[in-house]
Amino acid sequence: MKTNNAAPAYSRTTSPELGAALSVLGIDIRLDVSVDRVSGKGWKTLLLGMDSVPWKEIGAETLAGDPLPSHNTKATLGLLRNGTLQEADPHHPALDVLRACKAADSLAEWARTGDEFLFAKVKGAERWAMQRGQLPFSNKTLHAAFGTRSLKLAACLVVLGCPILRVEGQSPNALFCFPATGYGMPPPVVADLAQAYRSGRLAELTPEHPLLWMMQGLSNRDAIRDLMENKKPLVLIRAPGTGRASLVSSNAKGAAMDRVKRHLGIV
C-alpha cells in the first residue's frame, strides 16, 4: 500500500522537460511525493493542471483586451507524445521548448566532456537540432563573429538556425562560438538577435518571438527542477501581451521577484 496526496484532476509526468513545455502555456505545475509504506521507497511526480490557468488570474493582458487561448493538458500531452503536434503545428511553442531543452543538454555535455555535436535541420520545420558527431577540422579555425557563455541563449540560437562553430573552454565557463549569420528565411544575424533579446527590444517589438518562448521554457525547467529538489511551490505569472507564463518560487520576493517582473516586462 502507498500513500499519495495527488488530486484526481491532474495529468502526470516525471519529465521536467514536458513540464516546462506545458508551463509556458499557463499550465499549473505541482509536485506529488509518494511513498511505499512497505519498502519506504519514495518517488516524485509532476502534477499538471488539466487546463491552463484562466488568463486574468495570472495577470495576463492582451493588446486588444481579448482572452488568451486556453490549453487542455491531456490533449496537448497526447499530441506531443504521438507526434501529431509536430505534423499539425511544427513551430508550436511547446515543441520549441522541448527542442531548446535538448539543445541545452547537448551543449552542456559538449562543454563538459568535449564530445562534439553536429547541426541538423528538423524535418518539416524551420528549426534545427544537435546530433552527436565529429565537427570538420575547418571549424576550429573559422572566424567566430559572436560568442556567448549563456548555455540557454546558445541553445535557443541553435534551434533557430544558428550553428555552433565550436566550444572554447569547458563548463562552467565555456564559450559557444557562432558565425555571423545562421540558416533560414531570412537567415538570422546572430549578434543582432542576441542583442535584441538582451536589451529587451525583442520582447517590446516581437513579444511572441520563439526565442522568448524558449528562454522562458528553459527558465521554467530550472524552476521545476528546483521544485523537485526543494519542494518549494511554484507560482505562475504571465507576461503582459503574450501567452508566455513564468514559473516563480512561491517564496521569491524582493530582488528576485523584481528580476522576474523585469524579465516579463511587468511594471
Quick: pLDDT tens for 169-185: 988 899 999 999 999 98
**Strand 27-36 vs strand 2-3: parallel, antiparallel, or unpaired?**
antiparallel
pLDDT digit string, tens, across residues 228-263: 988 888 888 877 667 788 888 766 555 555 555 454
Distance CA 242, CA 256 (A): 22
Tell which wins on pLDDT, 45 or 249: 45
Burial 189-223 (b: 16+ CB within 10 A, else e): bbeebbebbeeeebbeeebebbbbbbbbbbbbbeb
Contacts of 233 by beta carbon, 8 Å cutoff, 6+ apart? 30, 31, 227, 249, 250
Asked if pLDDT for residue 21 goes beyond 70, the answer is: yes
Mean pLDDT of the region 81-107: 95
Distances in Å between the Cα of 143 and the Cα atoms of 20, 146, 162 are: 35, 9, 14
When the pLDDT of each residue in the chain is averaged and rounded to a whole number, the result is 84
pLDDT digit string, tens, across residues 116-135: 999 999 999 999 999 999 99
Specify the pLDDT at position 38: 58
Specify the pLDDT at position 9: 75
Specify the pLDDT at position 140: 79
Q: What is the DSSP letter of 187?
A: P
**Cα end-to-end distance, the chain, whole Å:** 50
- Contact 217/24 with Cβ under 8 angstroms? yes
- Contact 220/23 with Cβ under 8 angstroms? yes
Specify the pLDDT at position 110: 97
| Nine-digit cell string for 238 | 504571465
What share of the chain in percent tops pLDDT 70? Answer: 80
Specify the pLDDT at position 42: 62
**Strand 117-121 vs strand 42-52: parallel, antiparallel, or unpaired?**
unpaired
Helix or strand (DSSP H, E) at 176:
strand 175-178
Distance CA 185, CA 183 (A): 7
| Nine-digit cell string for 67 | 482572452
Query: If DSSP codes are grouped into helix, strand and coil, which group holds residue 4?
Result: coil
Confidence band, pLDDT 50/70/90 cuts, at residue 7 = very low
The whole model's pTM is what? 0.84
Mean pLDDT of the region 55-59: 47
- Contact 49/10 with Cβ under 8 angstroms? yes
Distance CA 124, CA 126 (A): 7
For the chain, give the number of residues: 267
Distance CA 157, CA 162 (A): 5
